[in-house]
Amino acid sequence: PTRTRATPQPTQSRSSCSARFQRKRRQPIHAPVRHKHRRHPHTSHHHYLREGDPIRRQMPANLPAVVALGSQHFCLDQSDDQVKRIAKSLPWYGPKYSPHDVPSFYDVSGITEDPAVFQLVVDFFVERYRAQGETGPTHIAGFDARGFLFGPPIALALKIPFVMIRKAGKLPGVLVTSGKYVTEYSTDETVMRLGSVRAGDRVVLVDDLIATGGTALAGFDLVDQLGAKVHEFAAMVSLPFLDGVGKIHAYKEGKYKDVPCFTMVDDASIGPEMCSDPPEGTPRMVSAEQAAAMEADIVAKRAC
């Protein structure tokens, strides 16, 4: 039998395919960006931006000057307008409306509830440590609890770990203790998780303010006992009349005298006008049902 070859059937051209089988070319939302130096290893040289894609945020163009207040104590220039803006975002309360019996209790929620000022504070800390390059910190450690507000965004921006220094009884696992120490409020004990920092690490200790230096020194000793080094102690507010920085540098015959302390705002820059005590007779605590009426009453009394 004679073998015959099947006659090939004509195929449809790409243009004649049904529209539903045609591959649609993806169109860029924005004009394509051509990289002059290299291509991204996983994409073409066209970048397609979708709604919600992160955009690199610009850091402050004019950073405040840093001035020396003493040996290894540095602070932002208090005459800078940006620093004044931070200072005027820090209300304080007298003993009657404070959780502790102190003359002035500074409320950092004035910072955290204002996103623009909060970002400014974080940016100033981040740029200080980013400028140090390879000699900068390897870890950020924050004190329970207000150090937890500022430490994590700083650590995230620098892409380094954030470590919690907590009061005793709050952390699980095997812990390293500071031992008992005295603050301006009470006698406390702080702990860190075993293994959170190790020999060779450079740790920035972060808190909302420095007063007598007791809490700070507990952190210094913890980091030191774990074989790491305190790179710097950093705080939002300094209370110079309590000389916390001086006490840190004088501790144990000057064991930490070469460790810098950096503060952002001096309490004198905040001023008496930032006292936020409500009118006389206002109760310290109200129920949720009473909140709206109480707020309206406080506003009305202050307007008189």
- Residues taking part in catalysis: 146, 184
Residue with tokens 């860190």: 192
| Both structure tokens of 264 | 């952002």
Cis peptide bond prior to 145, omega within 30° of 0: yes
Nearest CA to 154 out of 231, 219, 227 is that of: 231
| Both structure tokens of 27 | 């169109």
Nearest CA to 209 out of 133, 132, 100 is that of: 100
Q: Give the phi and the psi of residue 164 in degrees, each rounded to 5.
A: -90, 130
DSSP string, 178-218: EEEEE-SS-EEEEEEETTSS-TT-EEEEEEEEESSSHHHHH
Distances (CA, A) of 13 to 9, 17, 20, 22, 279: 12, 7, 14, 11, 84
- 3 state DSSP class of 281: coil
CA max distance for the chain: 116
Radius of gyration of the chain measured on its C-alpha atoms: 29
